[in-house]
Amino acid sequence: MQNRDTEPFFREKQTDKMVKSRLLFITCAFALFFFIIALKAAEVSVFGHDESAKKTAHGNPKIDRAEIVDRNGNLLATNLKIAGVYANPKEIIDVQETVLGLTSALVETDMKSLAQDFKKDTQFVWIKRNISPKEQQAVNDLGLPGIYFSEEITRVYPHGNLLAHILGYVNVDNEGLAGIERELNEALMWGSKEPLQLSIDVKIQHILRDELLTKLEEFQAHSASGMVVDVQTGETLAMVSLPDFDPNHPADATKEQKFNGLTLGVYEMGSIFKPITAAMAMDYGVADFNTTYDARTPLRFARQTISDYHGKKHILTLPEVIMYSSNIGTAKMALAIGTERQKEFLDKIGMLEKSEIEIPEKTAPQYPRKWKDINTITISFGHGIAVSPIHMAKAFIPLVNGGDLHPVTLLKKKDGDLTEAKKVISKTTSDKVRKLLRMVVKGGTGRNADAKGYLVGGKTGTAEKLENGKYSSTKVMSSFIGAFPMSEPRYVVIAIFDEPQQQKKYVRPTGGVVAAPVIKNIVARVGPILGIKPRFDDEAEQELYVNQWLEHAPAIVSAHN
Partner 1 sequence: MSKTIVTWLLFILPVAMGLFYVKHIVQNLEEDLAALERSIDVDQEEVHVLKAEWTYLSRPERVKTLASKYLDLEPTTSRQIADVQVIPFSIGEGKIMTSSVEIK
Please list the active-site residues: 271
CB 519, min distance to partner 1, A? 14
Cα distance between residue 247 and residue 54, in whole Å: 38
- For the CB of residue 55, give the shortest distance to partner 1 in the complex, in Å: 6
Distances (CA, A) of 135 to 84, 318, 550: 10, 67, 66
Residue 129 CB, shortest distance to partner 1, in Å, is: 18
SS3 (DSSP) at 86: strand
Nearer Cβ to partner 1 (163/321): 163
Query: What is the smallest separation between the CB atom of 298 and partner 1, expressed in angstroms?
Result: 42
Q: What Cα–Cα distance (Å) separates residue 117 from each residue in 45, 50, 110, 304?
A: 55, 47, 11, 69
- Residue among 389, 392, 355, 409 at smallest CA distance from 184: 409
Pick 165 or 314: Cβ nearer partner 1? 165
Angle (CA) 235 240 241, round 5°: 135
- As a whole number of Å, the end-to-end CA separation of the chain is 151
Burial bucket for residue 268 (CB in 10 Å: 0-12, 13-18, 19+): buried
Q: Which residue lies nearer to partner 1 by CB, 197 or 342?
A: 197
Nearest-approach distance from CB 46 to partner 1, in angstroms: 8
Nearest residue (CB) to partner 1, 31 versus 315: 31
Least distance in angstroms from the C-beta of 322 to partner 1: 26
DSSP conformational letter for 183: H
Question: Closest by alpha carbon to 281, among 325, 333, 330?
Answer: 333
**Residue number with CB closer to partner 1 (81 or 504):** 81
Distance CA 130, CA 312 (A): 63
Contacts of 44 (CB under 8 A, 6+ apart): none
Spatial CB neighbours of 49, under 8 Å, sequence gap ≥ 6? none
* Least distance to partner 1, CB of residue 455, Å: 10
- Residues lying near partner 1 in the complex (CB under 8 A): 45-46, 49, 52-53, 55-56, 58, 60, 74-75, 78, 80-81, 156, 158-160, 162, 202-203, 206-207, 210, 451-454, 524-525, 527-528, 531-534
How many of the other CB atoms lie within 10 Å of CB of 459? 33
Report how far residue 497's alpha carbon sits from residue 425's, in angstroms, rounded to the nearest whole number: 29
Print burial letters for 150-184: b (CB count within 10 Å at least 16), e (below 16).
eeeebbebebebbbbbbbbbbeeebebebbbbbbb
Between 432 and 438, name the residue whose CB sits nearer to partner 1: 438
Which residue number, 20 or 452, has a Cβ lying nearer to partner 1?
452
Are 346 and 425 in contact by the 8 Å Cβ rule? The answer is no
Q: Which residue number, 35 or 471, has a Cβ lying nearer to partner 1?
A: 35
Which residue, 502, 522, 531, 462, is CA-closest to 226?
522
Shortest distance in whole angstroms from residue 413 CB to partner 1: 21
Residue 309 and residue 342 in contact, taking contact as beta carbons nearer than 8 Å: no
